[in-house]
Amino acid sequence: MTFEAYGRLIALGPPTYRFTDELPERAMLLRHDIDDRPRWIEPMSRIEAEQGKVATYCLQVRTPFYALDDEADRAVAALLDDGHELGLHFDSSRMASDDEVLEGVEREATLLEQRYDTPIRVVSFHMPGVRPVGHLDLGDRVNTYAPRFFTEISYLSDSNQNWRGKDPEHELRTAGRIQFLTHPTLWSGRPLREILEEQAARLGTSVEDLATDDQKAVLEMQAHHP
């Protein structure tokens, strides 16, 4: 998976819109959850801008994989300059109540707004399968897992370099309204094991200890079908 391949893929889809737009019958929402170093934002952002596409890049505030440092600042400046939008990628997986989630979203969205001087209108959730989030009303902010963006339209994700039995080219060619979630690091030309090895080295752990069950399944699949 490369950035060039990503560019060819999004060229097949409908015109792009923002999550806050009124969506026509054919519309593609490009969303990127930043789970790894922000350095991979810039090549993806440029490819989208060259095609006249708009996307939303959702940055985490609490993660062991990167900090809001100079690298993140450069990446955010680049994506905003390319005409894209900054959103929040929020981890609610260990929170006990909806109120705790809502308070955390407001706190972290405000932090990003103050640091980058841009409105945070879009919120995506990390590992939404662990804690249901689609029902949450975020007020003036958009929940990317609300039914109108998730179950009521088509949804495509590159999660762990695994399309889960879907053909992405077919999905994008035939889509009416579709949300397309990608993770920039997965398009950096490296197989998942290499990505995880770099992450594990930074955290001082092993791939076996770091990888989720889903990632281990993909590693097994890629080992047999490189």
Q: What is the pLDDT of residue 94?
A: 86
Question: Is the Cβ–Cβ distance between 116 and 87 less than 8 Å?
Answer: no
Q: What is the pLDDT of residue 129?
A: 67
Return all residues near 21 (Cβ < 8 A) that are at least 6 apart: 27
This prediction has a pTM of 0.93
Distance of CA 179 to the CA centre of its chain: 11
pLDDT tens digits along 1-20: 999 999 999 999 999 999 99
The residue range of the domain holding 124 is 3-189
Q: Are residues 120 and 59 located together in one domain of the fold?
A: yes
Looking at the structure, tell me whether residues 126 and 215 fall in a common domain.
no
127 with 105, same domain?
yes
Residues 121 and 77 in one domain: yes
Instruction: Report d(CA 81, CA 40) in Å as an integer.
Output: 16
Whether residue 183 is found in the same domain as residue 85 = yes
Asked whether residue 176 falls in the same domain as residue 204, the answer is no
The per-residue DSSP string of the chain comes to --HHHHHHHHTTSPPB--TTSPP-SSEEEEEEEE-S-GGGHHHHHHHHHHTT--EEEEE-SS-SS--SSHHHHHHHHHHHHTT-EEEEEEE-TT-SSHHHHHHHHHHHHHHHHHHHTS---EEEEESTTTS--TT---TTSEETTSGGGTTSSEEEE-GGG--TT--HHHHHHS-SEEEEEE-GGGGSS--HHHHHHHHHHHHTS-HHHH--HHHHHHHHHHHH--
Alpha-carbon torsion (107, 113, 119, 121), positive or negative: negative
pLDDT at site 27: 98
Give just the sign of the alpha carbon dihedral 15, 174, 151, 191.
negative
Q: Say yes or no: 209 and 129 in one domain.
A: no
Shared domain for 178 and 223, answered yes or no, is no
What is the tally of structural domains in the chain? 2
Q: Are residues 39 and 133 in the same domain?
A: yes
Position 28 scores a pLDDT of: 98
Residues of the chain with pLDDT under 50: none
In angstroms, the Cα distances linking 175 to 41, 54, 75, 142 are 25, 17, 30, 22
Looking at the fold, whether 60 and 137 belong to one and the same domain comes out as yes
